[in-house]
């Protein structure tokens, strides 16, 4: 009796309990088998899921689907200036390797004396592309045995981290990694790499024991495959879920790639710290940045030092923590001895060697640092609310960037001799863009990024001088003036705002003291006539039209006609694009697409600024600037290509010029705004001419034999001295572009003895 209640307890005998267990045993077994089946099915489903991620990466290009910054794809064309050696270097940078290649690489290639055969891994293109050379020029392109006009390579990666500069990287195949470096990396990171299947159970057990006995968690256990997966697929968070994903991806990756490919990928992708502002990625770049050597030249001690950095590049950096780097190097040497790869004597000799680094030239060897900075700025501005940016495909053309850097360097070397007595050297900037798309193809923001990170292409506002004049004349043509309308070229004083006066002077103080045509005034860059044209056209109209070209709005003073309002080289190059683009304004662009490779179907935004006929008449005048004007030094420098352009001289030297498919602006000057003392033709034009010549040679599509002529343009031969229709007696005849409305209607009566006749081309 408990609390007033009676309770009876039935006691189950031992035999009964045995009978119950026997009856339950099949149920337990069934449940266990069911659980195992479900677990196995879940494991298979999970493996398939992660396998699809691997397959997707391989299908879209393992190297070109990584997060980071990419250059515009290189296009091979018949007639292109190119050599076998340069093509091989380009292929390596774009992820192609020599001999056979698995799907992890962009493709493979084989090279002969005058032939390179490319086997792309992209199934959407040709299976075999054959490039035949004649000297330093591509003579023939075939795809699967059929002639083709061009072939596009995979894009080259500029940086895996858009916030850091990257060096000039080339992809390594496994057989290009020296054995001493392979042994050093395996010894310290994954001795059983060639034995396990992606996840090393023995290594995990050892790591677990260390973690249990050590208060600091997270030690060891990851194989090289897991590290590669973690660096290329996953976030750095330390969770069981991420660790599980890492293991499954590693198992899947090992089933699809050879051990050699996985190890080579690891050596290409591994992050090895910073030197200066340059992010070092891959062992080949690390050898150059830290030791100034090729991989094959590394000593045992140097190879061990690089291998030791992998675990913690900042802590074991030989540039910043020499003692820690030495201690870690010696640990690697000991591991190499333990694995039987080196002797005790070799350890003793290598461990006593001091760490000696090459001079830090990392910034000098970095890829387009000014351009990368600008892309980073644009990316932060445009994508700050759109989440993490995975891949940024830029408009940047590596081959043109190199030519731009070389052209500027050669010109600056020449100018340094002129300014040798000065404490400060002049600076320079160059920008090149596609006038039809706005794609920025090359950008050099200064003579040395290591010395100055100011990007003068985008951030240095300087007076453009006479390079502004085409916008004055474009406004006049839009307002109805004719290219053959005449103005007096003589010293003059202009009155404006009722009682204010302005007395401009021609450069050098020379005057023809006669009437000259509007066209001649632009070709000869006559200041007095330009101010006269501006005042007759209207300063407000010119200022307003300048803003539609994308330039800062100038103050409405007569001097605006001579380029007193400060602009950047990028703004000026973009504005000149209107003249070659049928009067349409484009917007400069450095990012072609995000996440997905750029397509060709998206048309860039445009705005009609001036009429196609006005833009062509200005181009026709600027072509004459090169034929017989202030830029005569550029005549014939780009064979077979139509070019036009304008010099500018303020305190600085400018030249802005273009072909039918490429606009380039060059600025030379002092950062402190000191007087350069050279004309634009002397300072800037030589660099422009060299760049344009080489750019069209390597990219014939950027040239063009003629500027596209719109409807409404006709060509009239005039006497350039007076603007009248020429006769056979005129000594200075010139064929010019005009419209019906602006065409001359009188024949020249200054030469010969013929009476004056009315031209059939009458004014409207």
Of 404, 367, 371, 440, nearest to 687 (Cα)?
Answer: 404
CA distance 193 to 35: 33
Residue 61 in this model has a pLDDT that exceeds 80:
no
How confident is residue 624, by pLDDT bands cut at 50, 70 and 90? very high
Which residues, other chains included, contact 5 with Cβ-Cβ below 8 Å and sequence gap of 6+? none
Does the CA dihedral 478-481-482-488 come out positive or negative?
Answer: negative
CA distance 145 to 130: 8
Does the CA dihedral 705-405-64-194 come out positive or negative?
Answer: positive
Per the listing, tokens 């030469």 go with 751
How confident is residue 41, by pLDDT bands cut at 50, 70 and 90? low
Of 511, 560, 566, nearest to 533 (Cα)?
Answer: 560
Q: What is the pLDDT of residues 209-253, one digit of tens each?
A: 554 444 333 345 689 998 888 877 766 666 777 788 888 888 888
Q: Quick one: tokens of 143? A: 């795809």
Q: Are 652 and 671 in contact (CB under 8 A)?
A: no
Residue 758 in this model has a pLDDT that exceeds 50:
no
Coil, helix or strand at residue 259: helix
CA distance 655 to 197: 61
Residue 612 host element (H or E):
helix 612-628
Q: Are 526 and 506 in contact (CB under 8 A)?
A: yes
CA–CA–CA angle 554, 555, 559 (5° rounding): 90
Catalytic choice (154, 156, 189, 690): 189
Backbone angles phi, psi at 69, to 5 degrees: -115, 130
Using alpha carbons, list the distances in angstroms from residue 753 to 732, 756, 757, 760: 17, 9, 12, 20
Paired strand residues for 69: 159, 392
Q: Sheet containing 129-133: give its strands across.
A: 96-98, 107-111, 115-120, 129-133, 138-143, 146-147
Residue 52 in this model has a pLDDT that exceeds 90:
no
Q: How high is the pLDDT of residue 703?
A: 95
Using alpha carbons, list the distances in angstroms from residue 8 to 2, 11, 447, 593: 11, 10, 100, 81
Q: What is the pLDDT of residues 574-612, one digit of tens each?
A: 999 999 999 999 999 999 888 777 765 566 788 999 999
Coil, helix or strand at residue 74: coil
Residue 40 in this model has a pLDDT that exceeds 80:
no
* Section 706-710 average pLDDT: 96
Q: How high is the pLDDT of residue 47?
A: 78
Which residues, other chains included, contact 739 with Cβ-Cβ below 8 Å and sequence gap of 6+? 613, 617, 712, 713, 714
CA distance 404 to 442: 7
Strand ranges for 611-763 from DSSP E: 644-649, 653-659, 662-669, 713-719, 733-739
Q: Are 472 and 440 in contact (CB under 8 A)?
A: no
CA distance 288 to 450: 17
CA distance 161 to 288: 19
8-state DSSP, 155: P
Q: Quick one: tokens of 407? A: 């052209």
Of the chain, the end-to-end C-alpha distance in Å amounts to 127
CA distance 705 to 660: 8
Which of 84-98, 386-400, 479-493, 645-659 has the lowest average pLDDT?
Answer: 386-400
Backbone angles phi, psi at 288, to 5 degrees: -75, -45
Q: How many CB atoms lie within 10 A of CB 633?
A: 16
Catalytic choice (106, 159, 362, 466): 466
Q: What is the pLDDT of residues 84-143, one digit of tens each?
A: 999 998 998 888 888 776 667 888 899 999 999 998 887 667 789 999 999 999 999 999
Q: Are 326 and 355 in contact (CB under 8 A)?
A: yes
Strand ranges for 144-217 from DSSP E: 146-147, 150-152, 157-159, 165-166
The CB-side HSE value for 337 (13 A sphere, CA atoms) comes to 16
CA distance 189 to 515: 82
CA distance 685 to 665: 10
CA distance 308 to 712: 71
The answer to whether residue 466 is catalytic is yes
Which of 208-212, 286-290, 304-308, 418-422 has the lowest average pLDDT?
Answer: 208-212
Residue 347 in this model has a pLDDT that exceeds 50:
yes
Which residues, other chains included, contact 25 with Cβ-Cβ below 8 Å and sequence gap of 6+? none
CA distance 279 to 757: 74
Give me the helix-helix angle, 322-338 and 300-309, nearest 10°. 110
Q: How high is the pLDDT of residue 756?
A: 43
Dihedral, 672, 677, 678, 683 alpha carbons, nearest 10: -20
Pairing state of beta strands 427-433 and 440-444? antiparallel
* Section 491-496 average pLDDT: 93
Q: What is the pLDDT of residues 146-197, one digit of tens each?
A: 999 899 998 888 876 665 666 667 788 898 999 999 999 999 999 999 998 8
* C-beta pairs of 21-28 under 8 Å, 24+ apart in sequence: none
Q: Which residue has the higher pLDDT, 566 or 254?
A: 566
CA distance 753 to 545: 45
Pairing state of beta strands 607-608 and 427-433? unpaired
Q: Are 626 and 669 in contact (CB under 8 A)?
A: no
CA–CA–CA angle 526, 529, 533 (5° rounding): 130
The answer to whether residue 345 is catalytic is no
Q: Are 609 and 548 in contact (CB under 8 A)?
A: yes
Q: How high is the pLDDT of residue 359?
A: 82
Plot region of 48 (φ>0 → left; ψ -120 to 50 → alpha; else → beta): alpha
Coil, helix or strand at residue 540: helix
Using alpha carbons, list the distances in angstroms from residue 361 to 171, 277, 453, 689: 21, 11, 15, 29
Plot region of 134 (φ>0 → left; ψ -120 to 50 → alpha; else → beta): beta
Q: Where are the alpha helices (DSSP H) in 467-538?
A: 469-478, 518-523, 527-537
Q: Quick one: tokens of 608? A: 């009609």
Residue 206 in this model has a pLDDT that exceeds 60:
no
């Amino acid at each position: 009796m408990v609390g007033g209640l009676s309770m009876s307890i039935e006691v189950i005998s031992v035999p009964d309990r045995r009978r119950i267990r026997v009856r339950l045993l099949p149920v337990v077994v069934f449940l266990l088998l069911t659980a195992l089946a479900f677990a196995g099915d879940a494991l298979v489903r999970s493996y398939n899921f992660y396998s699809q991620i691997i397959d997707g990466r391989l299908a879209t290009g393992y190297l070109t689907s990584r997060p980071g910054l990419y250059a515009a794809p290189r296009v091979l064309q018949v007639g292109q200036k190119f050599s076998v050696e340069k093509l091989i270097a380009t292929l390596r940078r774009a992820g192609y390797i020599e001999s056979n290649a698995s799907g992890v690489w962009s493709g493979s290639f084989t090279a002969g004396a005058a032939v390179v055969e490319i086997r792309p891994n992209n199934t959407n293109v040709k299976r075999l592309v054959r490039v035949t050379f004649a000297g330093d020029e591509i003579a023939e392109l075939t795809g699967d045995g059929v002639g083709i006009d061009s072939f596009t390579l995979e894009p080259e990666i500029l940086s895996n981290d858009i916030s850091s500069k990257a060096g000039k990287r080339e992809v390594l195949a496994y057989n290009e990694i020296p054995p001493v470096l392979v042994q050093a990396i395996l010894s310290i990171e994954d001795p059983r790499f060639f034995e396990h299947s992606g996840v090393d159970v023995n290594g995990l057990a050892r790591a677990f024991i260390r973690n249990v006995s050590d208060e600091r968690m997270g030690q060891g256990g990851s194989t090289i495959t897991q590290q590669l997966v973690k660096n290329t697929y996953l976030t750095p968070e330390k969770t069981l879920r991420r660790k599980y994903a890492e293991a499954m991806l590693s198992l899947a990756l090992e089933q699809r790639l050879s051990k050699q490919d996985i190890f080579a990928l690891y050596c290409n992708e591994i992050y090895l710290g910073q030197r200066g502002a340059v992010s070092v990625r891959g062992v080949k770049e690390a050898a150059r940045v830290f030791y100034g050597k090729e991989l094959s030249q590394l000593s045992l001690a140097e190879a061990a030092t690089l291998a030791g950095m992998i675990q913690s590049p900042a802590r074991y950096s030989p540039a910043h923590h020499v003692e820690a780097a030495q201690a870690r190097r010696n640990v690697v040497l000991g591991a190499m001895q333990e694995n039987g790869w080196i002797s005790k004597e070799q350890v003793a000799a290598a461990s006593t060697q001091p760490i000696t680094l090459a001079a830090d030239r990392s910034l000098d060897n970095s890829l387009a640092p000014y351009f990368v900075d600008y892309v980073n700025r644009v990316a932060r501005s445009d994508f700050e609310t759109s989440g993490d940016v995975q891949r940024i495909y830029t408009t940047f053309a590596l081959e043109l960037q190199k030519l731009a850097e070389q052209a500027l360097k050669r010109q600056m070397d020449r100018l340094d001799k002129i300014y040798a007595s000065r404490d400060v050297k002049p600076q320079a900037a160059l920008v090149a863009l596609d006038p039809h798309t706005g794609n920025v193809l090359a950008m050099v923001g200064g003579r040395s990024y290591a010395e100055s990170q100011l990007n003068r292409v985008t951030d240095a506002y300087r007076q453009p001088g006479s390079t502004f004049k085409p916008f004055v004349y474009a406004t006049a043509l839009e307002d109805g003036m004719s290219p053959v309308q005449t103005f007096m070229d003589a010293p003059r004083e202009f009155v404006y705002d009722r009682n204010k006066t302005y007395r401009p002077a021609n450069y050098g103080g020379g005057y023809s003291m006669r009437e000259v045509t509007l066209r001649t005034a632009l070709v000869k860059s006559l200041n007095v006539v330009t101010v006269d044209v501006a005042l007759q056209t209207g300063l407000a109209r010119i200022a307003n039209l300048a803003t539609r070209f994308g330039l800062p709005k100038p103050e409405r003073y007569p001097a605006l006609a001579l380029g007193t309002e400060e602009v950047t080289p990028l703004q000026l190059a973009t504005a000149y694009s209107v003249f070659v683009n049928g009067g349409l304004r484009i917007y400069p662009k450095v990012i072609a697409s995000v996440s997905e490779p750029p397509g060709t179907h998206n048309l860039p935004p445009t705005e009609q600024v001036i009429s196609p006929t006005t833009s062509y008449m200005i181009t026709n005048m600027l072509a004459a600037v090169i034929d017989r004007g202030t830029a005569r030094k550029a005549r014939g420098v780009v064979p077979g290509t139509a070019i036009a352009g304008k010099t500018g001289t303020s305190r600085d030297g400018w030249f802005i010029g273009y072909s039918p498919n490429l606009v380039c602006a060059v600025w030379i000057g002092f950062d402190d705004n000191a007087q350069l003392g050279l004309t634009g033709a002397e300072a800037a034009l030589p660099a422009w001419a060299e760049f344009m010549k080489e750019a069209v040679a390597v990219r014939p599509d950027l040239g063009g034999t003629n500027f596209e002529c719109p409807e409404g343009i006709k060509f009239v031969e005039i006497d350039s001295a007076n603007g009248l229709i020429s006769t056979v007696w005129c000594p200075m005849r010139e064929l010019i572009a005009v419209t019906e409305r602006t065409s001359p209607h009188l024949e020249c009566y200054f030469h010969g003895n013929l009476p004056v006749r009315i031209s059939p081309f009458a004014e409207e």
